[in-house]
Each structure stands twice: as C-alpha cells, then as structure tokens.
Structure 1
C-alpha cells in the first residue's frame, strides 16, 4: 500500500486520489488532488486553490511526483451556492480528465482533458469543455476547445483563466 499522505505536505489534505494507466503503456500512476490549508492571508479571500499532482512509479515501484498544477481546481468555497467546485478525476488509457463546477442560478462546469505524449514525457491539454446553464430558463451554452484551439500547453503550465469563458447573453 502506498503512503499517499507523504505527498500531502505543509498541512495539505488529500481530497481525492485516482489510480490508473496514466501513460497508456500499462504503467500505474496516481492523480492526487490536494487541499492546502487556509492561511491568514487566504482567510479574507476565497482560499487557496487545490493542487493537482501526478505521481508515477519508478523502476523499484515507488511513487514519485512528476508534475503538478495549482491553478486547475479552485478553492473549496469557489463554487458559489453549489458548494465545493471539485467534481472528479477520471483516468482513461493514457489520459485523464478533471471536472469542476459550481454556481447558483447559472450553473457552470468545466472538463479538462490531458493526454500523455511519450516523446515529450509529459501530459498536454487536448480538450476543454465549458458549459453554463440557467436553472430557471434552461438556456445553456457550451464551448468545446480542442488541442489546436488551446495551443501546446503542458499540464503543469495550464491555466484555465487563460482560455475563453462561456457565458449566457
């Protein structure tokens, strides 16, 4: 059994861990979503964003952190009335998806898909789906962005605030 808690440093807590074939080659890895502790500075704001970390096994079978992103999953209170915006992480043969969402009358959701590129030994954003829906009127809008729309962005460098938002008129 792996001690995933050893990756939750500085008072962070494990929000979720998802294991699977992250490279698409049968190798076992873990996507860890960490919830950092609030600080005095964050007490007056929404709080710190979550840290999404990719762990892979070395030749001896020990997990090591190979990449992380502290911009992908917003803070626990950043989902508005809907509550915690973190939805889930799903691993599929050589790729993983992180979903978030929130809102009140206007509900929003985002799905970010990252795929492993063996030649570059890293994961890159390949798809973003952003959706908003008015719960009273049923009006909705979705944007789907593919790798060509997003550019060549590695997992650790991806910043959702740098891509177009979806909004109702």
Structure 2
C-alpha cells in the first residue's frame, strides 16, 4: 500500500512538473500556489485534488522532510526516511570504520533496534506552516530607499522575522 501511494504521489508530482514546464510556469511551487492548478490536474488526469497536494498536514506533503541540504520522505509511521545516496553519503561514512566499510559493503538493519544514527549534527526538518511574509519584509520601507539602504532595511526586516520565528517555543 505504501509503495502504491509513493508511486501515485511521484506520478502526480511529475505531472505537476510536466504541466508547469509545458506552460513555462518555471520554478518551484509553494504549497499555497498548488490550489490554483486544479484545472491543470483535471486536464492531465491527476486524481489527487490540488487542495490535498497543497495541504502540509495531508498526504503527500506530510511525508516530505528536509535535511538542510537534500529532501527526503517519511516511509514509515516510526520516522524512517528515505533519501538519495549522495544525500546519505556522509551518514554512511559516519557509521563506517576501516574494519566495517559500509560504503563498500552496504548495510541493512534487520529491525528497528539495529538502525544506525545519521550523525550527531544531522536533523530532519518538517515544514509545519508556510506564510507569505512579503508585506512584512517590504511593507514599511520608505519609497525613497534605494541601493544599499534599501537592501539593509530589507535585511533588518528579514532578521527580525527570523528572530521572531526562532523565539517561538512551538
């Protein structure tokens, strides 16, 4: 069932990418923008509603995680995530020794207790919310700001937003 869902989601997301490039809608879509694509979903035969694909709390987006340098997907309810080999290479190296070179011989955990940690600095980032902060970044800028002054004002607004977000205990 999970494999079927992963395949269905992959095909759906590939369809979105194909639709986007066919109409020169280049770039990455933010989740809130996907709702606009329902007619395109219908046209190309994607059965998932765009509203579901856009919802961070529903499948498939609730399975997508970031590693800070790559993306990954949850593939089990216990938190197992899968990513590309080049993304996991450092974790494989971290668990290898000269006597037990996992890069050369591979590794398969027989059960949950045999799984290896990715490393002390590794983190999975789960997006819980996406907000358009354009107005908060640009809203209070004076119309006569240009060049370096405008850049510095934008940076100050961005830093204030980041600080606000990072200080939120949730």
Instruction: Please indicate the TM-score interval, normalised by the length of the shorter structure.
Output: under 0.3
More strand per residue: 1
Give TM-score, length-normalised by structure 2.
0.21
More helix per residue: 2
Give TM-score, length-normalised by structure 1.
0.21
Larger-Rg structure: 2
